[in-house]
Structure 1
Amino acid sequence: MMRYVRSVAVAVTGMLALSACGGSGGDDSGASSSGKPRIKLVINGGLGDKSFFDSAYAGLKRAEKELGYELKVVELGTDRTKWEPGFEDAASADDYDILAAGTFEVTDYIGELAPQFPDKKFWLFDAPVDYSGKNGGCSNKCENVYSVTFKQNEGGYLAGFLAQNLVAEKALKGTESLKKAGVMGGVKIPLIEDFVVGFKAGFQAAGGKNSDVLVQYVGGDKPFADPARGKEISTSMYGQGAALVWPVAGLSGLGTFESAVSAKRFTFGVDSDQYQTLTDEAQKNTVVTSILKNVGNALYKAAQDDQKDTLKYGAVATVGLAEDAVGFVDDEHFKQLVPEQIRTEVQEAADQVKSGSVTVPSAL
């Protein structure tokens, strides 16, 4: 029986979605009669977060459409007691060639299951499996596991740089007297802290003060799936003088958009383009831009490389701005809200990080 992951483990940046029970798509009948490579996406949560898992799904759907894969999705819901048996069942079924899963909450599951199925491939996104073979790591060093992690600190840097410019230049209507910005994390763990450390560095690089960055965490039993608590925290931050709040808390972040409407303030989206994924028009209009963690792009690239037999298993790939795995949305809505001079400066900041002339601090 596999050991459980850390008792305080939580899904990352957006990561727990609407509670879903059971699987969707495909069946357990065995090998595909089409002969197409089969990917099974196993989600410790559910689709519908309009952020992290939805991004992963979109990238794999693109691989299905453009590269000829077959995709099956298994949603395990937010009840953690169902995750371990859910992953065991998913790995045991002969209905996949590649099993994809994400967040650090599932690294132990993949690390223990992958050696049991050496003829299968495993993709782990946003956290690496322990390849060492020590301290409970993979017994075979997980030679059939590809891990990809992201430089979310670089995205955080751009968010902080943009936020300080917006408040300094009084660019956001109705917030001209305000000079603070907030970051709401799901829980205080290194991965979430990487967003926060990057944000503070960018805010300071643009001339802001550390004391003007408000940081708070959702916490509790469902830190990435508690919109009510997210709304409460965001409302408090707006009350303390934040012109905008950036939620890095998955489904809990939906509460931030509700709060921003009531407070007549602004937000940044996270992971996916949340101006596009939100359905409420008033909430959409609070989103200045979204800081992207392009999980879908990374998985689509993995699918491309796997077809070419160039994907490196048994190792971790780390991607960021230079690989277009992290970035920000620069669309017409962004142009309407943000003056050209600020847009230019943010792009210059991104270019400096890409070139290596600016190194962003990290919590990892």
Structure 2
Amino acid sequence: MKKYLAVLLAAVLCLGSLSGCGGKNGAQEQKEIKKIAYLCSNLGDKSFNDVAWEGVKKAGEEFGLEVKAVEYGADNKSRMEPTLQDAAGSYDMVIFSGNEMIEFLEKCYEDFPDTKFVAFDIDPVYELTMPNVFVVAYLQHQGEFLTGVLAQRLSASGVTGLVGGTEAVGINDFLVGYIQGVQYADPNAKVAISYVGGFTDSPKAKELAYLQMDQGADVLHQVAGGAGLGVFEACVDRGGARAIGVDADQRAYFLESNPKVADVIVTSMLKRNDVSLYNIIKDSLDGNIAFGTMEKWGVKQGATVLADNDYYRQTVPQPVRDEVQQVADQIASGAITVKTAYGMEQETFAQMRNAVKP
């Protein structure tokens, strides 16, 4: 009888408290989020990494969190996995981007069951199986459709250019969306296409931009991270050519430091890392994020759109801005379906690219 009462008391105590009962598969008290690490290759790219860090910093300041940017190095991939593991053991939440990093996490996430992970800018075809990870995939090809429409409407020559970082499916997804937008604006349009081979070599990007201008391109779009800064410099040097940035409102980064560069950047195709990460952190603190799930954010969610800043409104004619907005509305409603490079046959991609070759 005493043994029965002891078991009954233990059961009552377990029901009355969520902590300590059920192990990994039972109900447990959620670890409070106080410390957050943002992992990136490097800050200072005036683009993707910097704008993401802005969102994390803002959340830290507003919610009284300890936040830290941890840089593992742009050309030091061997540091990625140990950096991830170190952060996972020291912080309550770890935020990072990229498919390479999430593959490293797959190998060790079970060692850190109390750590929450946020992975953003992951391939939309990724299959998530980790219960303590929240994943965001950006539908960048949708935003690039808008970019292509805008670039073609601004072009006097009928030739625009795109300088990409690496010839990988993620960058080609930008290109596929861009080509569709250009052809929507003008079926006979041409696009000069180049790849830097990385995301840090701005002098090479500058030379590629010169070559595209020699082919007649007068509106150049960079999708090459920090290397893409060379595209802006080329537009300044040659004069007359205009540029479209990527990921962040890149004009804003140069307004004070280099006004000449700022003035060639008409707008940028945004990935709203700042807003996305701020909201994810806020919702995590409120218990409103379903870890173990993946979401896809595009034009409809306002995640992959053009920067609608004062300069864009001043330099782009109202009819063109109206058309871009109408196209955005149609993409959001599903009236326009934008093809993606993910799952596209290589032959189909090659035909699309060759069809717009100057």
Could you say which TM-score interval applies, normalised by the shorter chain? 0.7 to 0.9
Output one character per residue of 1:256-305: Cα deviation in whole Å (capped at 9) or x when no partner: 01111111111001000011012311111110111101112111121122
Tell me the residue number matched to 1:68. Answer: 64
The CA deviation at 1:36 is 6.0
Which of 102, 108, 113 in structure 2 is aligned with 1:107? 102
Tell me the residue number matched to 2:78. Answer: 81
Output one character per residue of 1:152-200: Cα deviation in whole Å (capped at 9) or x when no partner: 0011000000111112xx4xxxxxxx22001111111111111101101
**1:121 and 2:116 correspond:** yes
Letter in 2 for 1:272: A
The percent identity for this pair of structures is: 36
Tell me the residue number matched to 1:41. Answer: 38
1:166/1:129 Cα in 2 relative to 1: closer, same or farther (>3 Å)?
A: closer
The CA deviation at 1:127 is 0.9
Output one character per residue of 1:85-131: Cα deviation in whole Å (capped at 9) or x when no partner: 22232223x3x110111122212112222121011111111116998
User: 1:321 & 1:131 partners in 2: Cα distance?
Assistant: 20
User: 2:183 & 2:33 partners in 1: Cα distance?
Assistant: 50
1:303/1:202 Cα in 2 relative to 1: closer, same or farther (>3 Å)?
A: same
Between the two proteins, the alignment pairs up a number of residues equal to 307
Letter in 2 for 1:114: Y
Tell me the residue number matched to 1:262. Answer: 237
Q: Conserved in 2, the CA contact under 8 Å of 1:36 and 1:70?
A: no
**1:158 and 2:158 correspond:** no
Letter in 2 for 1:166: L
Q: Conserved in 2, the CA contact under 8 Å of 1:150 and 1:320?
A: yes
Tell me the residue number matched to 2:183. Answer: 204
The CA deviation at 1:38 is 1.4
Tell me the residue number matched to 1:240. Answer: 215
**1:97 and 2:92 correspond:** yes
Tell me the residue number matched to 1:343. Answer: 321
User: 1:131 & 1:115 partners in 2: Cα distance?
Assistant: 19
**1:356 and 2:334 correspond:** yes
User: 2:111 & 2:187 partners in 1: Cα distance?
Assistant: 52
Q: Conserved in 2, the CA contact under 8 Å of 1:183 and 1:248?
A: yes
User: 1:65 & 1:321 partners in 2: Cα distance?
Assistant: 28
Q: Conserved in 2, the CA contact under 8 Å of 1:128 and 1:147?
A: no
1:192/1:312 Cα in 2 relative to 1: closer, same or farther (>3 Å)?
A: same
Letter in 2 for 1:181: T
The CA deviation at 1:81 is 2.3
SS, match of residue 147 in structure 1: strand
User: 1:308 & 1:339 partners in 2: Cα distance?
Assistant: 43
Q: Conserved in 1, the CA contact under 8 Å of 2:33 and 2:92?
A: no
**1:183 and 2:180 correspond:** no
1:36/1:316 Cα in 2 relative to 1: closer, same or farther (>3 Å)?
A: closer
Q: Conserved in 2, the CA contact under 8 Å of 1:131 and 1:142?
A: no
SS, match of residue 39 in structure 2: strand
1:128/1:119 Cα in 2 relative to 1: closer, same or farther (>3 Å)?
A: farther
User: 1:303 & 1:84 partners in 2: Cα distance?
Assistant: 23
RMSD: 1.8
The CA deviation at 1:144 is 0.4
Decide which moves more: 121-130 or 237-246.
Answer: 121-130
User: 1:129 & 1:200 partners in 2: Cα distance?
Assistant: 20
Q: Conserved in 2, the CA contact under 8 Å of 1:224 and 1:250?
A: yes
Tell me the residue number matched to 2:251. Answer: 275
1:235/1:332 Cα in 2 relative to 1: closer, same or farther (>3 Å)?
A: same
Tell me the residue number matched to 1:59. Answer: 55
Letter in 1 for 2:312: F
Q: Which has the larger radius of gyration?
A: 2
SS, match of residue 91 in structure 1: helix
Alignment of 1:17-32 (within 5 A): none
Q: Conserved in 2, the CA contact under 8 Å of 1:60 and 1:299?
A: yes
Q: Which runs of 5+ in 1 are unaligned?
A: 1-34, 133-137, 171-177
The CA deviation at 1:51 is 0.6
Letter in 2 for 1:119: D
User: 1:131 & 1:204 partners in 2: Cα distance?
Assistant: 29
Letter in 1 for 2:230: G
Tell me the residue number matched to 1:193. Answer: 172
